[in-house]
Amino acid sequence: MLSRGELRLALSAPSGAGGGGQAIPDGRLPEPGGWNRFMLEVPDVEALAEELRGAGAGFRNDVVTGRGGKQVLLGDPAGNPVELFQPTRAEAQLGASGAST
């Protein structure tokens, strides 16, 4: 389990033991590396990406700038994507008034 404030994220490892990690009816098992991801808001995405690259983290792309901020995707140790996001507009910040949840 991961939590931040009122948010709680439950992760399930692939297994035959039931729960979110079990096979779906056609026999496929969950696997890492898809595009579903969670996002971490960071104050300086470029500096953090440089630091993580220096530590050997694998990235899917370089830092890109969009309408709400800058982001980059990296893989966790199992290959799942994690987005690092630096908002550049107040409404894109975590907990901003009027932001979608």
The pLDDT of residue 4: 80
Residues 6+ apart with CB under 8 A from 7: none
Of 59, 67, 61, 58, the C-alpha closest to 88 is 67
pLDDT tens column, 15-47: 556 566 667 777 777 677 766 788 899 999 999
The pLDDT of residue 21: 65
The pLDDT of residue 101: 42
- Supply the mean pLDDT for the chain: 80
DSSP 54: H
**In CATH, which of 3.10.620.30, 3.40.50.300, 3.10.180.10, 3.90.1150.10 is domain 32-101?**
3.10.180.10
The pLDDT of residue 14: 59
The pLDDT of residue 36: 73
Question: Which one is predicted more confidently, 93 or 96?
Answer: 93
Q: Is the pTM of this model over 0.75?
A: no
What b/e sequence results for 38-69 when a residue is b if at least 16 CB atoms lie within 10 Å of its CB, and e otherwise? eeebbeebeebbeeeeeeeeeeeeebeeeebb
